[in-house]
A and B are shown apart, each in its own frame.
Chain A
Amino acid sequence: MVRVTEPAIRIRGVSHRFGEEGEARNVRALLDTSLDVARGELLCLIGPSGCGKSTLLNVIGGLLAPTAGKVEVLGKGVAGPMPREVAFVFQEHALFPWNTVRENVDLGMRFQGVAAAERAGRAQRALAAVGLEDFADHFPGQLSGGMRQRAALARALSLQTDILLMDEPFGALDEQTRMILGEDLSVLLAATRKTIVFVTHSLGEAVFLADRVAVFSARPGTIKQVITVDEPHPRKPDFVMSEKFTKLRNQLYGLLHDEIRKTMSAESAGPKTPGALS
């Protein structure tokens, strides 16, 4: 029997390396990472580019087998995609451009194995939840970037999984659009009580959405610190103006700043150390 207190996701000693050791293009993306994600929690992963946050997300979702360590989702070891337990929202929306928004939502459920009779109603409810009913018969190419991400979210919601993995879902959008989508997402997710892992580059987005924020170190990435954001969902737009928000955001900035510097100097100077330029 599964106890309610058991974490939704259990990550133990996960490391990942792209390519073989000794190859020119081999990269250690993730180093000995361990973490639990509680049921119903929204966890943000934040860190410098290339720190392995997306890699970790793909490992959790079974899209990538790690070179070491293991992940359990809802008490079961992960060995491949788990369409009934885990849904994804990708940065590049990943909608099928030849299908309308409604067909995209329908197709996800069809892949998952939902009976045809049930799909139409579930698609309609998911589209209503993200406010896209009026655009259900548009093709993705006819929508704005923000609407496409809403459609991708509707597709993920229609799958009714306990776990939602979001890989920089608003990364390609402008600041205003991502602010509004963030507010809507907070309302929506507070109602669904899903367990969510959310990769982002934005400090503000992380503090606004997350129950906890896991800060990654520079490559090879591992979790440097976990910060708790003790604020009930759904979060009000006012939260952004509060002192608590600013303090948490600054704390995150402090933690990230050094790691981003490390990444940048590793990229630009190669073996040189900072300061050796002069």
Chain B
Amino acid sequence: MRSARKPAGRLGVLATQAAFVAGILALWYLATTRWGVSRILLPSPVAVWNALVNVVTSGEFLPDLRVTLFEVAVAFAISATCGVTIGYLVSRSGFRTRVYEPLFAAMYAVPLILFLPLYVLWFGLGPASKIALGATISFFPVALNTITGFSHVDRTLVTAARSMGASGFALFRFVLLPAAFPVILAGMRLGFTVALLSIIGTEVLASLAGLGHHIVELSENMEPARMFAYVAFVVAIAAVLNFAVSLLEAWGRRW
């Protein structure tokens, strides 16, 4: 009985979620058609869908998507490299771990996006300021997880490897790194998500190009249907990218 109820429970959850989304869409539709909410404030879902089809088929999103993805890729490459390297160096000494881990955790808790005006002053309105801020924000989860990963390697495994003659690089390559790897990957997934969020967010606030920039432009040009279509498009892109990163993380934990 219990085992028969489980899949039904999962189906029930899915059905309720679908009904919830359908309900919101229905309310949205009624608000624009029956209850007289202005098209300027809230475009109808049909108009948004048509705009989305138009945006995707025309390929007009490509230049902005390219800018945003470039910024995310560079920012993440910087934060992943620095986060793993610095995290490893910190984790090698108990003293450094006790000094830096709380500092990194505290800085991660600060809304670093507040530093955007400063970054724009330093790096200009172009991609450089987005990359710098995205890299700064995503550095912390990567570094923190790297420290945790390397500090919690099972001592028995290290002892066993030493008894078989492992030391130095072999110990790092075959024991410490694979032991810490899943935790580091989890940090990278978090880092990637915050890099993506903060870069699109900063594009909205101060930029010359990118998906976030385009959304603000559409809003200022009073094109709400296209603006909503772009928001939906960004949500879809973010979901695809996060899914890809989650797959990578699952692969890292396959054992």
A binding-site residues for B, Cβ under 8 Å? 61, 63, 81, 83-84, 86-88, 90, 92, 94, 96-99, 107-108, 110-113, 139, 141, 159
Contacts and interface: CB of A to CB of B under 8 A. Distances in A.
Contact of B157 (A87, A94, A110): A94
Interface string B159-185: 111111110001000110011010000
Contacts of B174: 96, 107, 110-111
A81 B163 contact: yes
A92 B178 CA distance: 19
Contact residues of B: prevailing secondary structure: helix
Contacts, number: 53
A86 B163 contact: yes
28 contacts: A61-B163, A63-B159, A63-B163, A81-B163, A81-B165, A83-B164, A83-B165, A86-B163, A87-B163, A87-B164, A88-B160, A94-B157, A96-B157, A96-B174, A96-B175, A98-B179, A98-B181, A99-B178, A99-B255, A107-B174, A108-B164, A110-B170, A111-B165, A111-B166, A111-B170, A112-B164, A112-B165, A141-B255
Given A63-B162, A111-B174, A113-B165, 6 more contacts: A83-B163, A83-B165, A88-B163, A90-B160, A96-B174, A98-B179
Contacts of B181: 98
A98 B163 contact: no
Contacts of B175: 96
Contacts of A87: 163-164
Main secondary structure of the interface of A (DSSP, over half): loop
Interface in B137-176: 156-157, 159-166, 170, 174-175
Interface string B214-255: 000000000000000000000000000000000000000001
Given A96-B175, A96-B178, A90 B164 contact: no
Nearest to A156: B164
A169 to B, nearest CB: 13
A81 B170 CA distance: 15
Contact of A90 (B156, B166, B170, B179): B156
B178 A94 contact: no
B39 to A, nearest CB: 57
Interface in B96-123: none
Contacts of A90: 156, 159-160
Give the interface centre of A61, A81, A92, A97 by most chain B CB atoms within 10 Å.
A81
